[in-house]
Copies of this chain bind each other. A is one copy, B any other.
Amino acid sequence: MLSDSYLLRRQIKQKRALATVANIAEAAVTVLTRDGAGRFTTNRVAEEADVNIASLYRYFPNKEALLLHLIHLSWEEERAHLSPILIDKSLGDAEMFRIFIREYFLIEAQEAELKRAIRAAAVDMWNTVEYREAIARGSNLFRKLIARVLRDRPIGMNLDVNFGVLLTIGAAEKSAEIFNSKADIIRSADLVSEILIARWKIC
């Protein structure tokens, strides 16, 4: 019994802890987008989250861990949007390709400011494995898409997959940077799909 209630308390505590972590993360995003990477300080985040600074450090061993967590969340959100498209059996390859890329461009645009701020705040992490990995994951889903739509091409065909990936990611980022209207973003996305669909003869 004792241990039971202890367990319960533990769970409650864990729930609380989870809420605190979410709270801090949210505050971090707020600070990052509202005040900019230059004003992104742990103290400010703690204050915004209405949490003691020492508590922040209980959950995140250091500033970098917090940033990595944000990157993780952003990636999770991306995945939540894009994954469903990949398993939608009602879509033909070309259609899936187009829809996926559109969605990808739109998410990228929507999160552009946050991502830029994160990148800026993560200045000192550029060369850490963790950061590189966290960032790299961004393209994984996209590679999955490509694997899906090119599934039955004979191996050895020169398909320039890497090039396709970088072209798309680059265009998505730049579009997000340059364009403001949704229409423009979609247009960019469609042009990229068109190019790659033609190039890879996706039907």
Indicate whether A126 sits within 8 Å of B36 (C-beta atoms), given known contacts A120-B119, A160-B191, A195-B195.
yes
CA distance A116 to B171 in the complex (A): 17
Determine whether the beta carbon of B36 is less than 8 Å from that of A123.
yes
Copies of this chain held together in the complex: 4
A109 is an interface residue with CB less than 8 A from chain B: no
Min C-beta distance of A192 to chain B, whole Å: 7
Identify the stretch in A13-21, A74-82, A95-103, A173-181 within 8 Å (CB) of chain B at 4 or more residues: A173-181
CA distance A163 to B116 in the complex (A): 21
A-B CB contact pairs (8 Å), 22 listed: A36-B127, A37-B123, A39-B124, A116-B126, A119-B120, A120-B120, A120-B123, A120-B126, A121-B123, A123-B123, A162-B178, A163-B187, A166-B171, A167-B167, A167-B170, A170-B170, A170-B171, A170-B172, A170-B173, A171-B171, A173-B173, A195-B195
Determine whether the beta carbon of B178 is less than 8 Å from that of A174.
no
A193 is an interface residue with CB less than 8 A from chain B: no
Given contacts A169-B170, A173-B173, 18 further A-B contacts (CB under 8 A): A36-B124, A36-B126, A39-B124, A119-B120, A120-B120, A120-B123, A121-B123, A123-B123, A160-B191, A162-B178, A163-B187, A163-B191, A166-B171, A166-B174, A166-B175, A167-B171, A170-B172, A173-B174
Min C-beta distance of A114 to chain B, whole Å: 13
Q: Which residues of A are in contact with B by a Cβ distance under 8 Å?
A: 36-39, 116, 119-121, 123-124, 126-127, 160, 162-163, 166-167, 169-175, 178, 187-188, 191-192, 195, 199
Min C-beta distance of A147 to chain B, whole Å: 18
Indicate whether A166 sits within 8 Å of B195 (C-beta atoms), given known contacts A119-B120, A120-B120.
no
Determine whether the beta carbon of B192 is less than 8 Å from that of A178.
no
Across the two chains, which residue of chain B brings its CB closest to A166? Answer: B174
Q: Which of B123, B160, B162, B166 contacts A38 (CB 8 A)?
A: B123
Across the two chains, which residue of chain B brings its CB closest to A38? Answer: B124
